[in-house]
Amino acid sequence: MMPKNKKRLIFIFLDGVGVGDPSDKNPFYAAKTEFLPFYDGNLCLPDGTPIKKIDPLLDVDGIPQSASGQAALYTGENVPKLLGQHKGSYPNRLMRKVIKEKNILSRLKNKGLKAVFLNVYPVYTRFFTDQHIQIRSSGEFHFSPEFPQQFKRRLSVTTCMIISAGQVPFNEKDILAERAIFQEFSNRWLNEKGLPLPEFSPEKAAEIIYNTSRHYEFILYEFFQTDLYAHRRSFDDQVQLVNDLNRLVKKLLSLLNLQTDTLLLTSDHGNLEDSSVRTHTLNPVPLIVWGNQGDELRDGIHALTDVTPTILTFLGTASHKR
């Protein structure tokens, strides 16, 4: 358990969520979500905490994409500008080099802070260790002969980050012990794949996030169903997903201490907020910072590239200079 006087930050990342119009094309508006009101005209939480719009474009032409946006978010570097374009899906060699050198997990751990990526890697956990996968200083991968072929071209920014930081990911035993959660926190998807795991409500997922956060100064949870639903699912399904996330955030905030805990929630690009298109959008992304020093953190963040430096400064590991 962390000492009570330690700063503690929970970072929830929702993939593909922007701030949209207050219209029936926006599932956040249709759901009338109190804790995720991601539409113009109502950008605040029930307690008055403002929701800020921040820039995912980063002075680069084109539509923002996941890999370059997340790399910028978790390193503080303007990765799209470095590439000369926005890049989707999975990071290339140059991006992996930046992630290895600059990722927030490694930087926190190198300063002696307890930091962890909360997502579970079921079944294949053992392959995401130094024995089976490494990222060289050049950004090139090195795989063991046993590393599953199907994953070699599907390694996300956060996966590259935990590999670089030397974190052994959580596995399905940690779900059973209620120490960590899957990217689809209900576990219904895993049950459909044949893993006998308990089904978690949004409130139970929030409790797990809260309880695990008591042991760390920084935890990150990544939820990318938002982007997948925006690309593939019906509007009714999108509204249901938004309602579930609203319940999770509501429960989590009810557990947190306004004076000692900090919740930061943001995204990499827009998508789900506009159901009239199946592509990403040019919309700004929402930033929620609630709790301890929330105003100061919020004031320091204007774009994706500000998030990591601001967190590092808050936790006492770095200045804002990049």
More confident residue, 278 or 210: 210
Contacts of 117 (CB under 8 A, 6+ apart): 105, 158, 161, 162, 165, 167, 169, 219, 220, 222
- Mean pLDDT for 197-208 is 98
- Residue range 231-250, pLDDT digits in tens: 989 999 999 999 999 999 99
Which tokens belong to 99?
A: 């992630």
Cβ(226)–Cβ(272) below 8 Å: yes
DSSP 153: T
- What confidence score (pLDDT) does residue 3 get? 56
Strand partners, 134: 142
For the chain, where are the alpha helices, taking DSSP H only?
Answer: 27-30, 66-75, 79-83, 93-102, 104-110, 157-165, 172-176, 188-192, 202-213, 225-232, 235-255, 294-299, 307-314
CATH of domain 8-314: 3.40.720.10
Q: Give dist(CA 175, CA 195) in Å, integer.
A: 11
Domain boundaries, the chain: 8-314
**Is a pLDDT exceeding 70 seen at residue 319?**
no
Identity of the amino acid at 116 = V
Residues 77-121: tens digit of each pLDDT? 999 999 999 998 899 999 999 999 999 999 999 999 999 999 999
What's the token pair of residue 152? 């070699």
Residue 140 main-chain phi, psi, to 5 deg: -75, 145
261-266/285-291 β-pairing: antiparallel
What is the rounded average pLDDT for all residues in the chain?
Answer: 95
End-to-end CA distance of the chain: 32
Phi, psi (degrees; rounded to nearest 5) at 117: -95, 120
pTM of the model as a whole: 0.95
Cβ–Cβ under 8 Å, residues 238 and 229:
yes
What is the tens place of the pLDDT at every residue in 47-73?
999 999 999 999 999 999 999 999 999
Residue 322 has pLDDT above 70, yes or no: no
